[in-house]
Amino acid sequence: MAEARRRIAILGGGIAGLTAAYELTSPDQPNPPEVTVYQLGWRLGGKCTSGRDPSAGSRVQEHGLHVFFGFYDNAFAMLRDCYEQLDLSKDRYKTLWDALQPYDQITVMEEIGGKQVPWVINCPPLPGKPGDPHPPSIWSIVINVLKWLLRTHASIIDGLEGNQSPLQRIEGKLHRAVALAEGLGKVAVAHEKGDHEALAALIREAAEDLQERVSQVGVDDKLRRLLTLFDFVAANALGGLEDGFLFDPYRAGQRINGMEYRDWLSSHSILHLAEKSAVLRALYDLIFAYPGGDVNAKGDIAAGAMFLGLFQLWQYRGSVLWKMKTATGDIVAGPLYKLLLKRGVKFEFFSRVDRLMPSADGETIDSVTIGRQVTLTSGTYQPFIRVKDLDCWPAEPLYDQIDNGNLLKQQKVDLESPWLSWAHAPPPVTLKRGQDFDDVALAISVAALPPICGQLAKADPRWQRMMDEVQTVETMNVQLWFDRTLQDMGWGGKDGTLLGGYDVSQLDTWADISEVLPSEDWGANPPRNASILCGPMKGPAKPPLGDPTYPATALKAITAAAADFLQNHSAALWPALSQNGSFDWNALHAAPEIKGPDRLLAQYIRPNIAPSERYVMSCAGTIEARIRADDTGFANLTIAGDWIDNPQNLGSFEASVMSGKLASRALTGLPKEILRVDPKNPLLTPPTNWPPRFVEPLGNQTFPGRIDFKDVTLNSFWFEANYDKLAAICRTCFDEPSGGTVSCVPLSSWMMMSFADMGKGRFDSRPNMGWSAEKELAFWIFVGRKKAPDSDEIDEAFLFNPVLCLDNSVAMMDGREVFGFNKQRGWVDMTPRDAAAPSFRVDVFGATVDGPNVQWDRVPLLKLDGTSWLTAPGEILTDLAEVAAGLVREVPSLLPLRPGLPLLAEFLQALIDGTAPVLFLKQFRDIENQDLACYQAICTADSKITGFHGARLMKPGTLTISPVANLKIADAFGISPSTDTGIGVQLNIDMAFLPGRELWRAEPTK
């Protein structure tokens, strides 16, 4: 009999809930569950929902201004895929890109000499498109930031008069900072603390010198703005580096999320322009960062969350902003709904979640009470109306599908409002665990949870803390349609302007959204401009559910704020609409019989006051109160939404998408990847009991942390092996265990064999421990990780070390335990560094033949002789790039990596720069069944050359391999027992082995 499918109830159909449904029903799910979404009212999308009003040109009615930033990779990737999966041939927008309007400017309002003056910041498009695979790494963003500082400094120099020499010194420091950052490996967490400190010192000195220089001269507004941007970026870069954010994001995030962002920025700012700037105010405005809603109060954002958001914003792809060409809900939630329907997801509209009940033991969610809001005439609901070739969410329910629909309409019962109820609602239903659902994904926003989750808070106090501490704020939305173009209105800037920081009013953000007009249906005489004003609304910290007059009071307040804006503050934006100090009400699109200020009432004015409409804030000191999707305290409950602990922790579309992915991952283990987030993202608070601390037993001889080797002699020879045999080793070690997640091929049939005297090895984390020595033989294969098992494209190149024999058993244990080196006990004899004829011998622990009576002992494995120095006696090569060039010159076949690979240059450069990523299969045998592994992972770590003292080249030699029953290297590599090698090189270096990360780990399928 077929196994029953797991049933998952998603409560709330906002972006997070829809993303969870999208991931749970992804084709990647081996056993997709049955998913039902319960949503109050008639439409999906939550804070991003929208409605069309057929009585007013089917105009687009939003909850507020919605834009995507060009770094929303997860959101874009999901929507791109969604559009591709649907047949949109008859629709207005065939692809996501058709529906979006890229935009490359942000305007902020500044007060200069008592006047409000716009400041336009151009953000040129960057390569790629949001949602493309392989978003930029943290370190590439740092390098980009430093280059920007350098370029901006050049513009500052152009604007400054007088002595240029101090400025050239500053430029020199910034150049050094760029070079230093470029020289460090790509994985920021693997750098040395000192590297980041050195980088920060250079930026600090450059900014301090600049401060001194500009304090001696007059600065005009143009220069002040440049200096402000320089200060803003430099302060963030300094803060990120000095607070160890880029080095140890998790701990730094924990520390600085307790600080308010502006205070944190100020503590790192040198020119002290950034924290007072209009740019910063505009950013606070954009995310409604004012508890209690007062734009004149001090804003409040957790420093870590804001830093990370801005840091990612730095490397957007394509345009910095993507505006909507029509209603947000019709671009986002509409297509997602259609795709999910296709995948079999069930939608229960008009289903208000009233209560979650835990089981008696507090371990699981046992029941969910659903308040049914209406009875449907046919049992199901078709939610769309068609407007201009697009399926759209209507602004009101489709009453003809509802029993007593006319009455509902007449009584104006808003089914999204908790202040209103309807007498004809059918009785509630109770969903039961095991009968109606197995697991629950709660995707209702945090301010709506207290009445729903009171019982959860009793069972687990973290819930009470989260509901108390994660703050929300009401917002205002005023949409205006004008019978004038933007130019007629007197705005001097570009069409499509998005403007923030206009704090003369609570409506502090304005955007020209005229790009939506063609999607509306006005017939003759359509409006010429559509604009949106929004901002936080002054109001209570929690929804005043007990006050039935509240919705009317809120509407009155926002209408008054809109009238005040138009009458008293619109002239700075639209001077042509102010006549003799009075706003020209006739400019608003409305029926001719409506006169004067009443024309405002024909516009769309909306207070977002219902609990789940409130914007979720990220106030300092509150991030810790958030709960993770996989740590809710109830075995069958996960959570999704911009209010849960997620990699962004800001109220945004992208954060909601990430949270939905995390909810799906908590339930099924998939998706594995969240773009722009390291799989071991340290910003996600780990569950309190995971991972456990490593127990330091008495007399432990393996050690944590980075290993530093001083005075290493590394003699490396190349030889040609059998490509197919090397490919088979890759398959066995990577493709087969990971099921193709890490799929590798050799990049060459040439291998490297190194005889190393590792000099003095020390453990960074045990500075007082002294040192030890080791000699080793290592074989290296150059491998490339493929984009996918059936792809020819290579993503990354690594060194892979299938066998390593060494004479220090502690190093052997440490290498296996920490990284996954396949280390074997061996003995390596090497002639001294400067012997006239270098030769090498290696024995291993084992036996020459198999057999029950054979004693394992030290047996010969190989020798290499017949070589001599190629570099002239007494000559030493002192430049690593020169060594690489010398090698290639001597033996062109040393560039045997497959032709045409773009990575080849990158990989060689990494080696020359001194960093080489190494790949490992790390595993431990299971205790019960020793043919199985109880831990198995594919890991990578960088080996880094920290000092280079010289090199010499060696002539080819002969490698002679002896039979060893337990280490058949000639067979494994497909070489003859007597093989001529290629050229050799002896490097005299210092090196380090850095902490690494897992690329894949074996986990039971859920």
Binding footprint of ligand FAD on the chain (CB under 6 A) = 11-17, 38-40, 46-48, 63-67, 352-353, 443-445, 448, 475, 477, 534, 608, 612, 615, 641-642, 651-653, 656
Tokens 């629950």 label which residue?
Answer: 440
Angle, helix 138-159 to helix 165-183, in steps of 10 degrees = 170
Q: Residue 114: which region, alpha, beta or left (left: phi > 0; alpha: psi -120 to 50)?
A: left
Q: Considering the complex, state which of residue 533 and residue 587 has its C-beta at the smaller distance from ligand FAD.
A: 533
Min dist CB 681 to ligand FAD, Å, is 19
List residues bridging with 105 in a β-sheet: 122
Residue 958 half-sphere exposure toward CB, CA atoms < 13 A: 5
Min dist CB 117 to ligand FAD, Å, is 25
Q: Considering the complex, state which of residue 540 and residue 575 has its C-beta at the smaller distance from ligand FAD.
A: 540
- CA proximity to 303, closest of 269, 244, 263, 261: 261
Using alpha carbons, list the distances in angstroms from residue 515 to 52, 102, 480, 495. 16, 11, 14, 9
Q: Considering the complex, state which of residue 226 and residue 415 has its C-beta at the smaller distance from ligand FAD.
A: 415
Cα angle for residues 94, 97, 99 (degrees, 5° grid): 70
List the beta strands (DSSP E) in 553-651: 578-579, 582-583, 604-608, 615-616, 637-639
Min dist CB 40 to ligand FAD, Å, is 4
Amino acid at 15: I
Using CB atoms within 10 Å of the CB of residue 767, give its burial: 0 to 12 exposed, 13 to 18 middle, 19+ buried.
exposed
Concatenating the DSSP letter of every residue in 118-159 gives: EEEEE---BSS-TT-SSPPPHHHHHHHHHHHHHHHHHHHHHH
Min dist CB 278 to ligand FAD, Å, is 19
Q: Considering the complex, state which of residue 174 and residue 449 has its C-beta at the smaller distance from ligand FAD.
A: 449
Q: Considering the complex, state which of residue 135 and residue 651 has its C-beta at the smaller distance from ligand FAD.
A: 651
Min dist CB 476 to ligand FAD, Å, is 8
Q: Considering the complex, state which of residue 513 and residue 969 has its C-beta at the smaller distance from ligand FAD.
A: 513
3-state secondary structure 673-707: CCCCCCCCCCCCCCCCCCCCCCCCCCCCCCCCCCE
Min dist CB 445 to ligand FAD, Å, is 4
Q: State residue 956 phi and psi, 5-degree precision.
A: -55, 155
Min dist CB 689 to ligand FAD, Å, is 27
Q: Considering the complex, state which of residue 448 and residue 828 has its C-beta at the smaller distance from ligand FAD.
A: 448
3-state secondary structure of 30: coil
Min dist CB 945 to ligand FAD, Å, is 43
Min dist CB 228 to ligand FAD, Å, is 24
Amino acid at 642: D
Q: Considering the complex, state which of residue 48 and residue 88 has its C-beta at the smaller distance from ligand FAD.
A: 48
394/440 Cα distance (integer angstroms) = 29
Min dist CB 333 to ligand FAD, Å, is 8
Q: Considering the complex, state which of residue 235 and residue 443 has its C-beta at the smaller distance from ligand FAD.
A: 443
Q: 702, 813 in Cβ contact below 8 A?
A: yes
Q: Considering the complex, state which of residue 10 and residue 975 has its C-beta at the smaller distance from ligand FAD.
A: 10
Using CB atoms within 10 Å of the CB of residue 55, give its burial: 0 to 12 exposed, 13 to 18 middle, 19+ buried.
exposed
468/457 Cα distance (integer angstroms) = 11
**Chain centre distance of CA 703:** 32
Question: Which tokens in the block code for residue 228?
Answer: 């402000």
Q: Considering the complex, state which of residue 514 and residue 652 has its C-beta at the smaller distance from ligand FAD.
A: 652
313/100 Cα distance (integer angstroms) = 18
Min dist CB 650 to ligand FAD, Å, is 8
3-state secondary structure of 718: strand
Amino acid at 317: R
Q: Considering the complex, state which of residue 320 and residue 887 has its C-beta at the smaller distance from ligand FAD.
A: 320
Question: Buried (b) or exposed (e) across 709-718, using 16+ Cβ within 10 A?
Answer: bbebbbbbbb
Min dist CB 84 to ligand FAD, Å, is 22
Q: CA torsion sign, 118 to 124 to 126 to 130?
A: positive
Min dist CB 387 to ligand FAD, Å, is 21
List the beta strands (DSSP E) in 814-866: 823-830, 840-846, 857-865
Q: Considering the complex, state which of residue 502 and residue 734 has its C-beta at the smaller distance from ligand FAD.
A: 502
Min dist CB 771 to ligand FAD, Å, is 53
Min dist CB 145 to ligand FAD, Å, is 22
Cis ω before 691 (30° cut-off from 0)? yes
Min dist CB 597 to ligand FAD, Å, is 24
Cα Rg of the chain, angstroms: 33
995/819 Cα distance (integer angstroms) = 8
Question: Which tokens in the block code for residue 493?
Answer: 């800037």
- CA proximity to 25, closest of 5, 2, 49: 5
